[in-house]
Structure 1
């Protein structure tokens, strides 16, 4: 019965290797085996719910260095799952939806239980990419959410650059967050996936014109507007999340911001999610290097890149510095490595062809 429920992930992986799309790696093979086995366990639980406590864990947590193939493994798994009882989110987008649902249920009894039960009705599998806990609000939300979610018949697959024991390291009230770490370590298959090569860096480089150092973006903005046959409105405001943001220029499918208006407080992740849903291309000028003390701006920039990357939003940047000089040191230096890698990927030809 198990073979009938298999997703045959290794067969698909070996086909990609044979075609030269990827290089075979034993660690990736192991991850795919665990994902396939966990899927089979999850399927058995749905068929034989009375056996759930006798079966192995169905949750998977994959962590490793930037470019090690974590997201590729998760996406290969997700695409192989039949039917529509599945969901894939960027981790922060998922938390944002949970927070909005909690707000809508404010005043009701056990709102988190209601939310989790509804998720369990809709999905058999939930994939969450790039787990990273950055503040006490996220930490306490996860403290309430994750144990409830892992108790349901929903298979969770999470990717992260960070091992479970290092999540929210040195964070405020971290002792209260430890229950999240304990649940991950106890109820999930935790696997490390570390490679020396960042596969995103090997992809085709983007055309040089999409990252400009101290050059005017206006000619490029005008050329894209002309190509798409769209009128330009200059020096206006854009309403996002019921707040006005100054913009240098806007068309039906493009918008141009100065850095200080898009990546500094009071901007938030909800703003980026709405912008990504409304525009195909985003131009940002006057991007400046981050200082060591610029943690809030760095976090917002990480959010921005993650949201735009996940939605395939095309990004054109003008900066006072080369990309590798944007953030040389500070408390967010480690997670910013992933952001740089994604920025490089977003400027490759294949990304622009999506």
Structure 2
């Protein structure tokens, strides 16, 4: 099988990828990790039996803005890694599995469940690859340091992960964040942190001529935001029925169901976001968790649905202030959504923001508040 770096260079030579210094450095580092893992497993049973902490391959943490090629590099790495004991999984899905295994271990009443859960993963895995490490769940944050210390330091599993944020910004402003700080220290000590945070957003290139605002409501508008979702997430359209959903922690024991949630892209209905009684804190949680939000079914607004209009304004404020990319299907253009009646004047500020959010300058900004 062709190695990681050779495959990357072949794609650049063929014009399928642009030459990018940050990507090449990451490809070289992942290629070295491949060689370390393959050399370790090629020694057979005795090599694995006498494996020590000092010789365990060091994992990699790649972080950067949307479209910098992190998922592409992860795909190449896993595809070209010639060992059987590897697994690529979305981080949210992995933590749900961890939660299930912890519950099973607790039923045995045999002490701390973390170590045996880590050992269960390590039995079949030498390299664990995560796409999109994002932490917005208090329960996950509380156990991650112990879990990954057991996986990396005790079991010797090599971890490779991508994230939109540097380690120090994970779970930023989260509830009881002090419980999470040991995990950040672990990442900085045990993983090779590699930034891919240059100005070029290759994923935006793939959007091509797809606009961000689509009107009127109907099949054509839906098809456009659907296509944007698949281009932004690299998910195969033919497997659309299996796009994962998510549960967003809103704090206080409340969660929000996200019908489509993948690689930092969340899909919501206007009715779910603005028809229910929600406040600014809920919309901030969405803005922090997702770099791109797709909202479908925005109706015309008027005094008759004033409450929904107010919530929509709060949603747009949260997304705008956190530089979240927004795709919408709506009954009208922003300036025609709320044209008359009580509340129309106040809505003009939201119209201004919606127009700016469609601009190339706004779309090129990185995720997160200034």
Normalising by structure 2, we get a TM-score of 0.62
Question: Quick one: distance in 2 between partners of 1:195 and 1:166?
Answer: 18
Partner of 1:118: 120
Q: What is the aligned partner in structure 2 of residue 74 from structure 1?
A: 74
Q: Is 1:179 paired with 2:195?
A: no
Match of 2:280 in 1: 294
Counterpart of 1:41?
Answer: 36
User: Partners in 2 of 1:89 and 1:302 — Cα distance?
Assistant: 22
Quick check: 1:217–1:318 contact (8 Å CA) kept in 2? no
The root-mean-square deviation of aligned C-alpha atoms, in Å, is 4.2
Output one character per residue of 1:252-307: Cα deviation in whole Å (capped at 9) or x when no partner.
Answer: x97xxxxxxx99965446x768xx9xxxxx9945476899943435646887999x
Query: Would you say how many aligned residue pairs link Structure 1 and Structure 2?
Result: 279
Conserved in 1, the CA contact under 8 Å of 2:67 and 2:201?
yes
Q: Deviations over 1:68-109 (max 9, x none)?
A: 111111111011123542211221121111112222332332
Answer whether contact 2:137 2:249 (CA < 8 A) is retained: no
Give runs of aligned pairs for residues 1-354 of structure 1, distance below 5 A.
8-46=3-41, 47=43, 48-49=47-48, 50-55=50-55, 57-108=57-108, 109=110, 110-151=112-153, 152-205=155-208, 212-213=214-215, 215-217=216-218, 267-268=256-257, 284=269, 286=271, 293-297=279-283, 299=285, 317-320=296-299, 327-330=315-318, 334=322, 337=324, 340=326
The alignment's TM-score, normalised by the length of structure 1, stands at: 0.64
Which digits, 9 at most, give the CA deviation of each residue in 1:99-129, with x for residues without a partner?
1222233233232222211111122221111
Shift of 1:318: 2.7
SS at match of 1:105: helix
Unaligned 5+ residue runs, structure 2? 223-239, 242-247, 301-312, 330-370
Q: Report the CA distance shift for 1:289/1:65 in structure 2 as closer, same or farther (over 3 A).
A: farther
CA gap of 1:135–1:161, structure 2 versus 1, over 3 A, is same
2:164 and 2:54 map into 1 onto residues whose CA distance is 31
Contact 1:211 1:318 in 2 (8 A): no
Question: Where does residue 345 of structure 2 map in the other structure?
Answer: none
- Matched-pair contact (CA < 8 Å) for 1:286–1:320: no
Instruction: Name whichever of 13-22 and 285-294 sits farther off.
Output: 285-294
Secondary structure class of the residue paired with 1:103? helix
Residue deviations 1:42-74, cap 9 Å, x none?
334443343533436421111112211111111
SS in 1 for 2:75: helix
Contact 1:89 1:128 in 2 (8 A): yes
Residues 59 and 187 in structure 1, CA contact (< 8 A), matched pair in contact too = yes
1:212–1:317: 8 Å Cα contact kept in structure 2?
no
Contact 1:132 1:168 in 2 (8 A): yes
Does the 8 Å contact 2:62/2:195 carry over to 1? yes
